[in-house]
Structures are given as C-alpha cells and as structure tokens.
Structure 1
Amino acid sequence: MNFRACFVLLAALVCLASPALAKTPVIGVNQFVEHPALDAILKGFQDDLKENGVVVEYKVYNAQGNVSTTNQIANQITDDDPVLVLAIATPSAQAQVAATRKNAHMAEVPIIFSGITDPIGAGLVTNLEQPTANVTGVSNQMPMDKHVAMIKRFMPDMKALGVLYNAGEANSVSNVRRLKAAAEAQGIELIEATVANSSEVTQAAKSLVGKVQAMYVPTDNTVVSNIETVVKVAEESKTPFFCADTDSVRRGAIAAVGLDYYEHGKQTGEMARRILAGAKPQDTPVEFQKTLQFYFNPKAAQRMGLQVPQEIVESADVIIGE
C-alpha cells in the first residue's frame, strides 16, 4: 500500500471515529438580486444536486441589487473556503471573478455562472468552447429577432418600441444592442429609457408613454425586480408591455418568449456535478438553453387595451390564469 493510499485510509478512519471532523463541502452562492427568475435558477440548481445524491452545504448571499454589496459578498465567499461558487446574474459573476483573481488560494476553485446573457462581453470568459481558467457556466442569451417577431404578431403595424433597462448592467447593454439590430431589420424604431437603480423605473416607464406603441424589458435585473411598477404605468396609459422574462408575465406583462429558469438552474446543476466529479471548468464549454416557451397573460392584454387574435392565444405554450 503506497503512502497516498495509507493517508486516505487514515483520514477516513479519523472521520469515522470523530464525525465532527468530517466537514461538509461548501458551495458559495453570489446572487445579485431577489426576483422569481433568479430564485428559480437557485432552486433548480439545488434540486438537481439533491436529486443526484450530492450532499453540500450552501452559503447563499443576495446583494439585493447593490453592486458594492455584490463585491463584499464575493470577498466573503472567498473566506468560506468553498469547493465551488455559483454566481447568479452578470454583476455577481463579474464581482466573483474579480475577487478570485485577487486571491491566489481561490484560483483553483470553480466558478459556475448562470443567468448570464453575454459571458464574453461581460469579461467572464474569452472563448465559449474553451473558457478561461476556473470559470464556465450556462448563458440565458436569447435570439432578439424572436422577441421582436413575437411583439409584431400582437401589433403588426408597430413603428416604435420602447425599451427599459439599466445601462450599468453589461447583460442589458448586450441585449439592447442586439434588440436594436433586430428591430431595425423589421422597420421598428427602438427608443431607450435607462435607469441606474430601482427608484428610477417608474419615471423611465412614464417617459416612454406617448412616444411608443409598446414597451419591452429584456432580462434586466434592476427593472425585472421592480416589474410591477412598469405594469402599473402600462395599464394606466394603455401601452402594451412585453418582456423577455417569463415570470414577469405572471406578474402582469402581456407576453414573453423566454426560458424556464428552473430548468436553466437544473442544467447549471448538472454542469456543477460534472465539475465536482473532476471535470475542469476550462475544459467545460459554456452552455446555452435552447428551448423557448411562449407565455401569454390575457387579462394583462385586456387591462392594457390590446385586442388579441384567437390564433395567438391558441399558440401559447403557457396561458396565465388557466
């Protein structure tokens, strides 16, 4: 029996003799803000590991949309000695990667991101097929042409579409850049209204009223976490409101073509299991969720004064209220 085998056997006997010495592995979670889509990612991730017999302790931190808090959380996680870090949403992933680069002892700890629109644009990886160092994950990037096509199904004569987003979120900037190209290709002018924090969402939505035929919100953490304020403005002004986040349809938007974020989390959990079993992040390509679903809220359309053809209703994968 070689020295390594003897050491492993001795360590196992010590743990059996003194269970208190057997430490449960820790997964640190850096989540940017609390809202249904991101919460569903975490739930899906945890359920996947539990269903597959992976026993870990979670240390979950939520920045509640505050970037400076996100940076503090990233530093705290490095002190928790995790075996893996789950970073949910772009600001959290950026903060965690930056903190890791400042702490040499974290260089080998895998960081898996989820709910990230543009991993390259956010500076998380330089190559989707061969990610940088200890970072990889699952992206929620969606084809913007399908979103514009969805809105045009409801409003074929639309000429101006308003978009609300936080210009400080790299994921939102990437989404809006692609949205603008998709809208222009279909003869639609995109009018932007930006916010820096949640307190500006209501005024930004009001600034679009009268200038556009409809409003749209991409997967923007700041606006989505305050989506009810956009819904209120849309209902009062009778301006149809669409979104990229399917959970926001449950909260009052008319429709979305988007991901099932619980399944997004489970896909991220499956990746984490492979890495915990020995796969290296740099050898694990960034993944995308391909399946999109069409969510429709008929009562929201009614409240915003939009008449919807029956063929659109029948084509919905999920009708809210049924």
Structure 2
Amino acid sequence: MKMKKWMGLAASLMAAVMAFTGCGGSSEAPAEDTAEIGTYTIGIVQQMEHGSLDAATQGFMDKLTELLGEENVTFDYQNAQGEQANCTTIATKFVSNGVDLIMANATTALQCAAAATGDIPIVGTSVTDYVTAGVVDSNDAPGRNVTGVSDLASVEAQVDVLMQFCDPEDTKVAIIYCSAEPNSIFQADLAKTYLDSLGVPYAEYTVADSNEIQSVVTNAVSDCNAVFVLADNTLANNMEIVKNITVPAGIPSVAGAEAMCQVGALSTIAIDYYDLGVKAAEMAYDILVNGANPAEMPIEYMTDGIVPKYNPEIAEALGVEIPEGMEPIGE
C-alpha cells in the first residue's frame, strides 16, 4: 500500500512538472526577442510658438516615438505662450504628475524646469549657452539633472555672412536683441568681440519686449547700414516687423536662425531646428533606457548641415548680388 501511495505521489509530481514546463518537457523560459524598454511619460514645456521652436519639438517627438515605440511613450505638450509664469506653472505640474523626463524648449522654459526639480531628468533644446542660463555647472560636465543641445551657430560666421553684403570700409552694424534673454546677451558679447577684431563699428539696440521692436529697429536703421538680429525668441516671433523696416530702408540683415530668415531677414547660417530636436530625443532615450546620468552628459552642438542661406524675396527687394555657395532658404 505504501508503495502504491509513493508511486501515485511521484506521478502527480511528474504531471505538475510537465504542466509547468509545457509539452516539450523543457524547463527553459521562452526567449524574448525585444528589449524591455518600458513605458514613459514625457513633459514638454515650449516657451512660445514660432517656427524654430515648433520644429525642435516636432523633431524631438518624432525621434523619441521612433526609438521607444508609439505604444511606449506619452507626451504632455504644453506651450507657455511666452510667459515666464506659465513656464513655472507647467514645470511644477510636470513635477507633481511625476513625469519620467522633461524636455524644455528654449531658455526660460529650461530655467523654470530646472528650478522646479532637481531630481527629474531635464533635456533642453533651442538654448544657446547652458552656463549663461544658470542651469549647469559647465557645458562639458553639467553636474546637475540637466543636459541638452545648444542652438549656437557660430556668431562669427553669421557676421561673415552679413559682411558679404556690405562694404567693410563703410559699414556700421546694428546688433539687435532682447535684453531679458540671457542667451541673447551671450551672443551679443561674442558679436561685439568679433566686430572689434574686424575693426567694424557697431551699436547695440535692445528691446525689453515685443512692444518695443518697431521703435528700436527704426532707430537702428537710421544710424546703421547693416543689421544683425540675434537668435532671440522675442525677435524670432516678430521678424515680420523687422522686415517691414529694414527692407524699405534698403538695409541688409542677418538673423541667428533659419526660421527667422524665412520670415524677415536677408541671410543666415542655418541650423535645422528639427534636427536639434532629434538630437535632444537621442539624449533623452539614453537617459530613459540606458540609464545615462544627465549630470555627466556634455551639452551637445550641431556640427552637420550648417550652411549660409538667403531669402530670395528679400534679396530681390534689396537688389543684392548673392555670393557664391549661398543657398536659397527652404531648399
């Protein structure tokens, strides 16, 4: 009787093992072909609406969706409409909602996100200099929960493009920017240093907000015969005003971003802001999936696809000759 009970128990155990391992009798778990990416919620705070920032956001979302898979990522996109208070409110909401990462598009958006959290990783884009913005210890070693991509195109190269439309012996350059934007002050210092080295006179013209652009640009073209509009969110959102003053005055201009040139400047050194967003997405993926630490990720810069471009409509209106190697905007 004992033997029968033992045999019955053995049979039950064998059946249980077979049921657990499957009909093939193998004890190995099925192989997984896909990496465990997980699911993520990304908060996006964009400082304002204009072509460059819109393109950067789109590039970021497209690339991160491609890398993670559409089913694995949710974007909470918020536009601050140019108001710092809105940036603060949006960033604070992202923190309270516990998003996995914040993408901050433009300087004020980045500053507000960095002030809102020291824990959630933040990737910036459309920001000229992260040290000047006060959000990292250095561009090579951020030292905090912030990293990102710079939109700094060589200020020296921008000046060189502008000077191709000017007589070096008889040119005074108006440097126009918003005094409330740290990235613009940084660029202005670079422009002044380079113009000094060339021996080209210049004057600074600053606006506090968009309401001052009309009068400030009007004053600038009355005193100067060339205009450099820095990569500045306030000016970028109002380039139509700049064009309506500089073109009738017959003044050549260079703008710090391609989208600005498309609307209202003669020339630019073009950085593709969509590609800027793509690069930011690749950094975000490295943080989310590979466990990279933003504090140890150097600020990245665009090095490919940067070319001098011109606006054909404005070139025709000014009657200028286009230098060899300069491409029409939009091509």
TM-score, length-scaled by structure 1: 0.85
Aligned counterparts, 1:149-164, within 5 A: 149-157=160-168, 158-164=170-176
Amino acid at match of 1:122: A
Aligned residue number for residue 284 of structure 1:
297
Kindly indicate whether the alpha-carbon contact (under 8 Å) linking 1:163 and 1:217 is maintained by their aligned counterparts in 2. yes
Task: Give the C-alpha shift of residue 284 in structure 1.
Answer: 1.4
Percent of counterpart pairs with the same letter? 31
Aligned counterparts, 1:129-168, within 5 A: 129-157=140-168, 158-168=170-180
Match of 2:213 among 201, 212, 217: 201
Q: Please say if 1:255 is aligned against 2:272.
A: no
Aligned counterparts of 2:113 and 2:126: Cα–Cα separation in 1? 14
Aligned counterparts of 1:148 and 1:130: Cα–Cα separation in 2? 30
Aligned counterparts of 1:253 and 1:143: Cα–Cα separation in 2? 17
Cα offsets for 1:107-149 (capped at 9, x unmatched)? 3310111111111111111122221221111111222111111
Amino acid at match of 2:57: L
Distance 1:41 1:155, change over 3 A: same
Amino acid at match of 1:121: T
Aligned residue number for residue 320 of structure 1:
329
Distance 1:121 1:160, change over 3 A: same
Moved over 3 A (4+): none
Aligned residue number for residue 16 of structure 1:
none
Cα offsets for 1:232-286 (capped at 9, x unmatched)? 1112222222111111222131110131111111011111110111111112111
- Higher gyration radius (CA): 2
SS in 2 for 1:65: coil
Task: Give the C-alpha shift of residue 24 in structure 1.
Answer: 5.1
Aligned counterparts of 2:198 and 2:101: Cα–Cα separation in 1? 44
Aligned counterparts of 1:212 and 1:84: Cα–Cα separation in 2? 45
Task: Give the C-alpha shift of residue 164 in structure 1.
Answer: 1.6
Aligned residue number for residue 81 of structure 1:
98
Once the two structures are overlaid, the 10-residue window that deviates more, 46-55 or 275-284, is 46-55
Aligned counterparts of 1:198 and 1:42: Cα–Cα separation in 2? 23
SS in 1 for 2:254: strand
Aligned residue number for residue 48 of structure 1:
63
SS in 2 for 1:242: strand
User: Which blocks of at least 5 consecutive residues in structure 1 are unaligned?
Assistant: 1-22, 101-106
- How many residue pairs end up in the alignment? 289
Distance 1:321 1:133, change over 3 A: closer
Amino acid at match of 1:302: E
Match of 1:298 among 277, 297, 312: 312
The alignment yields a C-alpha RMSD, in angstroms, of 1.6
Aligned counterparts, 1:1-322, within 5 A: 25-54=40-69, 55-100=72-117, 107-157=118-168, 158-277=170-289, 278-291=291-304, 292-303=306-317, 305-309=318-322, 312=323, 314-316=324-326, 318-320=327-329
Aligned counterparts of 1:200 and 1:224: Cα–Cα separation in 2? 14
Kindly indicate whether the alpha-carbon contact (under 8 Å) linking 2:242 and 2:264 is maintained by their aligned counterparts in 1. no
Amino acid at match of 1:173: I
Aligned counterparts of 1:143 and 1:240: Cα–Cα separation in 2? 19
